[in-house]
Amino acid sequence: MAKRRSDGRYQASFTYEGKRYFVYGSNNDELFENKAKKKQELRDGVLDHENPVLNDYYDDYEEMNRLKVKPATIRSQRTWFDACAKVQIMKNGTTLGQMRIKDIKSKDCQKVQRSLIDSGKSTRTVNNYMDHLKHVFTVAVRDETIDRNPCLCIQPIRRTEPKASSTKHRGLSEDEVKTFLKGAAESFYLNHFKLMLQTGIRVGELGALQESDIDQKENCIHITKTVTRTDVGGYTIGDSAKTYAGTRDIPLTPEILETINTQKQLNHALYGLRFNAQLFPSVEGTLLREYPINREIKRITSRKGIDHFTCHAFRATFATRWMEQRPQDFEILSKILGHAKTAITLDLYTHVMKEAKETAMKAVKII
């Protein structure tokens, strides 16, 4: 039975000799033709269900994965896989994705890793791509498509570039915050910047906020959703937070409430009193995305002579100030940030905790 996907295409499946196959089409007629074509290819042996080419295997892998992960994750993983699958392996131009899955050797995976490195991608990106490729082969071993994972001997690349936490995702100094906010005084996104600094919420969570999420009776902000990518690259409000722990309540303070009320007034002035979209929209009044926010940050930092950073730095700054002033309450900070475990919080901000411990140690008089 055909069903329509979120990207508008139609999907159907069928079973051939005990294995399930998926076909797609822009309409029912095309779907029917593609289904008949694939069945004929299977009968003719063009498609080897015992030893499929890697690209065909990944199509099935992806469809089964849709039941387990979010569309944004599907889209990201497809990008990672495609980067690996497009690497030329054979002298005749055959790529990794065009090879039969059982014919892929460790040396082929090593060639993929080397090609990704030579393309100029960061070590972190290359490691992410190869980790996903390794996982695809792991699944293939589990379902007995192959006997051995050819990626098992591939070691992660040692990181050479500085961590984002010390550059674009770093915690800002107090002087940097003051200088930046002064430079952002006339920006439409001023209140967006302020709320991220005041609460540590992610930009996707900020973009998903509605007036109903501001609960003055309970004196908190309800974080329940986030802006997310669809599997075809669009943006939408997801039906949940980024993670299970991401669903949380952040206490309201007078300063936070002032920022929210100021944004409400700005929305009504720009878009009319009946504006009932997201509380922190883009400058066009549409769903907030990370790119325009980071573009505005770049404009302001360039003009004010501040080292470049991204909107994630606001979250890091909130956490850094908290750890500097209340290190004993790191468990509360972990809840406010929406981390699943306090170990994640401590791992991200160990440099602040180290400084706090040194200060506390100096203040304690023993003899």
Residue 287 burial (CB count, 10 A): 16
Inform me whether the pLDDT recorded for 325 exceeds 90.
no
List the single range of 226-240, 272-286, 316-330 with lowest mean pLDDT.
Answer: 226-240
Contact assessment for residue 277 and residue 285, using Cβ atoms and an 8 Å cutoff = yes
Residue 355 burial (CB count, 10 A): 14
> Which amino acid belongs to residue 358?
E
Inform me whether the pLDDT recorded for 354 exceeds 70.
no
For 285-320, write each residue's pLDDT tens digit: 889 999 999 999 999 999 999 999 999 999 999 998
Rounded to the nearest 10 degrees, what angle do helices 190-199 and 174-183 cross at? 160
> Which amino acid belongs to residue 329?
D
Average of pLDDT values for 336-360? 74
Cβ contacts of residue 49 below 8 Å, gap of 6+? 16, 17, 19, 21, 42
Report if pTM > 0.75.
no
**What does the chain come to in residues?**
367
**How does DSSP classify residue 229?**
E
d(CA 223, CA 199): 11
Inform me whether the pLDDT recorded for 360 exceeds 80.
no
Distance of alpha carbon 121 from the chain centroid:
18
- Tell me what pLDDT residue 202 has: 93
**How does DSSP classify residue 29?**
H
Domain at 166-362: CATH architecture: Orthogonal Bundle (1.10)
> Which amino acid belongs to residue 90?
M
d(CA 105, CA 261): 60
Question: For 309, what's the count of Cα atoms within 13 Å in the CB-facing half-sphere?
Answer: 23
Which of the two residues, 238 and 336, has the higher pLDDT score? Answer: 336
Residue 61 burial (CB count, 10 A): 18
Contact assessment for residue 201 and residue 195, using Cβ atoms and an 8 Å cutoff = yes
For 128-170, write each residue's pLDDT tens digit: 999 999 999 999 999 889 999 999 999 998 876 666 555 556 8
Residue found by looking up tokens 């949380």 in the block? 248
- Tell me what pLDDT residue 330 has: 85
> Which amino acid belongs to residue 17?
E
In percent, the amount of the chain with pLDDT more than 90 equals 49
- Tell me what pLDDT residue 351 has: 64
Domain coordinates of the chain in residue numbers? 3-142, 166-362
CATH H-level superfamily of 3-142: Tyrosine recombinase, N-terminal domain (1.10.150.130)
- Tell me what pLDDT residue 244 has: 67
d(CA 353, CA 355): 5
CA nearest to 218, candidates 196, 250, 194 = 250
d(CA 264, CA 275): 9
Inform me whether the pLDDT recorded for 352 exceeds 80.
no
Average of pLDDT values for 252-261? 96
d(CA 141, CA 148): 6
